Amino acid sequence: MADLTTLTAPEARRLLVRREISARELTRAVLDRLQAVEPDVRAFITLTADEALQQAGGADAALGTPGGDPQGTPLLTGIPVALKDLFCTRGVQTTSGSRILEGFVPPFDATVVARLRAAGAVFVGKTNMDEFAMGSSTESSGFGKTRNPWDLQRVPGGSSGGSAAAVAAGECLLALGTDTGGSIRQPASLCGIVGLKPTYGRVSRYGMIAFASSLDQAGPFSVGVEGSAMVLQAVAGLDPLDATSAPQAVPDYLAGLPGGIKGLRIGVPKEYFVPGTEPDVERLVRAAIAQLAALGAEVGEVSLPYTDYGLATYYIIAPAEVSSNLARYNGTKYGLAALDEPEMVRAMELTRQRGFGDETKRRIMLGTYALSSGYYDAYYLKAQKVRTLIKGDFDRAFERFDVLATPTSPTTAFRLGEKTQDPLAMYLSDVCTLPVNMAGLPGINVPCGFDGGGLPVGLQLIGRPFDEATLLRVAYTYEQSTDHHRRRPGREVMSQGPGVDGGVVPAGGAQETRR
């Protein structure tokens, strides 16, 4: 049997349903692969191998029930999936990448986790991420740094870098991440895979550790577009436990994939080829757009004049929400507590001082400042008004176009440490993705080639609210006309032995937990 870890999720589904492979075989292959490459890639904070094998056993039972109907089993039955470590998982540590939550074991599943469970998914573990999802490189994690499987000296992007790297490296077939300003699309781009950020409200946020509640949205990573459609199918839809989840009906995303893009109007926002965009990125994204035209789309230029204000606006609104959302971590409810300090207020201060990393502290300070009396109107209120203008840009563009096409990230994967001392340079990684969150729109990354150094480049497609189906169809049509998704990072890259920092396994890094 060929290497099962190179299967895409729909390929695995077909083999599982035909009983040509078992869920246990598939899960074992993925766990073996994980063990072999994890010392180099370090995509996981917590592994759940035992639970995965048990779930795989259950999947085999469901698929093989005598007289049963394997076709009728839920879509993800027996498929190994990784979860970003900010989705609450019943009985399994959930840290949000922060030492302040080390040891926190939720008593319940996030809605998306419950839905994936119901769809038959096999959970292999919880993936590394920037602390509380703030970052673009996964370097702000309290649990060590994840490396890009295409080049171990480089970052996988972030904040869902662990999920993206795990999928790219074959340590799972699918993964779930979150995207507040780009954290699914940007790491997908840097790791050469598909990543979809759904419309705000399309997917429940219940049980997802909050970063910026008006922007956060969960979504899938996969090799190939079809896998992301499978995950979205399983997790999308109204949830009574999340008042911001939307009642819109969930279409059949898989059925909608074929059908082509003839006559579809694709707009190219001219402001998105920002200064600092690498020449290879611009060249490959423009070539992908030309390919969409060759496939029958009508392509035209469009202007989104408020794009320039996106970054500044995001860095008021998101930190403001952080300063409020992160107030709850004070040692009295979950995780770390400075028990050595008897005085209550001092103990809370110490807990936060010890538990939060630098970037988290920076955001809390930025946000608290922007919300403080006298500054609220000048910063926060003003930012909310500009947010409306940014949304207006998109509304106007969608009167003329069905989909917008841009680079996902202005650069390919950068070197570990390259931007950690310069927060603004790091923030600029998301300049093409942040406005999409502020307008609440869906966006997808689809690989569109490799730069001169062999690093993946991604095309971002942006859609109308709740029109993930069109995004998936455009991405699928494009993908089927290229070979990029067939290229995977070589095993040889991940067996070079000790990586950049001497192969020291991060303290608290991937541990087996079963509780």
180 touches ligand GLN (CB under 6 A): yes
325 touches ligand GLN (CB under 6 A): no
- Selected catalytic residue, list 159, 160, 204, 409: 159
C-alpha 26/C-alpha 428 separation (Å) is 39
With CB under 6 A as the contact rule, which of the stretches 97-105, 178-186, 268-276, 439-447 interacts with ligand GLN? 178-186
C-alpha 400/C-alpha 265 separation (Å) is 7
DSSP secondary structure letters along 236-278: BS--TT-TTS-------TTTTSSS--TT-EEEEEGGGS-TT--
C-alpha 445/C-alpha 223 separation (Å) is 11
Whether 372 is catalytic is: no
- 6 burial level (CB within 10 Å; 0-12, 13-18, 19+): middle
- Selected catalytic residue, list 22, 84, 189, 429: 84
In this structure, what token pair is assigned to residue 34?
């994980």
* For ligand GLN, the closer CB: 200 or 211: 211
- Strand pairing partners for 87? 208
Whether 361 is catalytic is: no
Gyration radius (Cα) of the chain, Å: 21
The contacts of residue 117 (CB under 8 Å, 6+ apart) are 109, 123
* For ligand GLN, the closer CB: 10 or 161: 161
Phi and psi angles of residue 270, each rounded to the nearest 5 degrees, phi first: -70, -25
Phi and psi angles of residue 16, each rounded to the nearest 5 degrees, phi first: -65, -45
406 touches ligand GLN (CB under 6 A): no
The contacts of residue 102 (CB under 8 Å, 6+ apart) are 93, 95, 142, 335, 336, 508
181 touches ligand GLN (CB under 6 A): yes
Q: Which of 123, 211, 379, 476: binder of ligand GLN (CB under 6 A)?
A: 211
89 touches ligand GLN (CB under 6 A): no
C-alpha 439/C-alpha 427 separation (Å) is 18
210 touches ligand GLN (CB under 6 A): no
* For ligand GLN, the closer CB: 36 or 274: 274
133 touches ligand GLN (CB under 6 A): yes
With CB under 6 A as the contact rule, which of the stretches 81-89, 173-181, 241-249, 383-391 interacts with ligand GLN? 173-181
220 touches ligand GLN (CB under 6 A): no
DSSP secondary structure letters along 420-433: TT-HHHHHGGGTTT
Residue 141: CB minimum distance to ligand GLN, A? 12
- Strand pairing partners for 512? 47
Residue 434: CB minimum distance to ligand GLN, A? 7
* For ligand GLN, the closer CB: 133 or 494: 133
* For ligand GLN, the closer CB: 215 or 493: 215
* For ligand GLN, the closer CB: 26 or 318: 318
Number of residues in contact with ligand GLN, rule: CB under 6 A? 13
Whether 84 is catalytic is: yes
310 touches ligand GLN (CB under 6 A): no
Residue 186: CB minimum distance to ligand GLN, A? 7
Q: What is residue 462's DSSP assignment?
A: E
Vertex 226: Cα angle to 87 and 97 (nearest 5): 20
* For ligand GLN, the closer CB: 224 or 443: 443
DSSP secondary structure letters along 425-461: HHHGGGTTTHHHHHTT--EEEEEEEE-TTS-EEEEEE
443 touches ligand GLN (CB under 6 A): no
Tell me if 444 sits within 8 A of 461, measured CB to CB. yes
Half-sphere exposure of 147 (CA within 13 A, CB side): 25
Residue 426: CB minimum distance to ligand GLN, A? 7
Q: Which of 193, 210, 318, 350: binder of ligand GLN (CB under 6 A)?
A: 318
157 touches ligand GLN (CB under 6 A): no
Q: What is residue 194's DSSP assignment?
A: E
277 touches ligand GLN (CB under 6 A): no
Q: Which of 134, 172, 413, 439: binder of ligand GLN (CB under 6 A)?
A: 134
183 touches ligand GLN (CB under 6 A): yes
466 touches ligand GLN (CB under 6 A): no
* For ligand GLN, the closer CB: 31 or 101: 101
With CB under 6 A as the contact rule, which of the stretches 18-26, 181-189, 202-210, 364-372 interacts with ligand GLN? 181-189
C-alpha 132/C-alpha 360 separation (Å) is 8
Helix (H) or strand (E) holding 82: strand 80-84
- Selected catalytic residue, list 183, 204, 245, 323: 183
136 touches ligand GLN (CB under 6 A): yes
430 touches ligand GLN (CB under 6 A): yes
* For ligand GLN, the closer CB: 165 or 302: 165
135 touches ligand GLN (CB under 6 A): yes
Contact footprint for ligand GLN (CB under 6 A): 133-136, 159, 179-183, 211, 318, 430
Q: Which residues are catalytic?
A: 84, 159, 183
